[in-house]
Amino acid sequence: MTKNKKSNESTYISEIAVHGLQEKKGNDIVRVDLRKLNASVTDFFVISHADSSTQVRALADSVEKEIYSSLKQDPWRKEGYELGEWVLLDYINVVVHIFKTEKRSYYGIEDLWGDAKMENYKSA
């Protein structure tokens, strides 16, 4: 796959992930574009949070459903779903982080990537 095609695909996956979060009223949705950073491990982080473990899991389910129905793609890895404190959905070039509210503040992922371009989105 060419670099441009990979970049377009990762942009599209990140947009679908944002839509999935918006559908279930994810809080403070941020898309972090890591493509121009030298030491980045992925193209995009998509980050959101919810007040309960139940909603964290609902957000994760929505993102998975939206990406699967659009691209027939499951996450390469999925972590933290059972506890619902911090769910990570890894689509290789896009990593979705869904936190319980207090965990997001504690870990401050956006602060770690302060040099990256960030876009904020509202819930639907």
Q: Taking all residues of the chain, what is their mean pLDDT, rounded to a whole number?
A: 92
Banded pLDDT at 6 (limits 50, 70, 90): low
Integer CA distances (angstroms), 83 to 27, 47, 100, in order: 19, 18, 10
pLDDT at 21 over 90: yes
Query: What is the model's pLDDT at position 124?
Result: 65
pTM of the predicted protein model:
0.93
- 45, 109 in Cβ contact below 8 A? yes
Sheet holding 117-121, edge to edge: 77-79, 86-90, 94-100, 44-50, 27-33, 117-121
8-state DSSP, 102: H
pLDDT of residue 91: 98
pLDDT at site 123: 74
The mean pLDDT value for 49-73 works out to 97
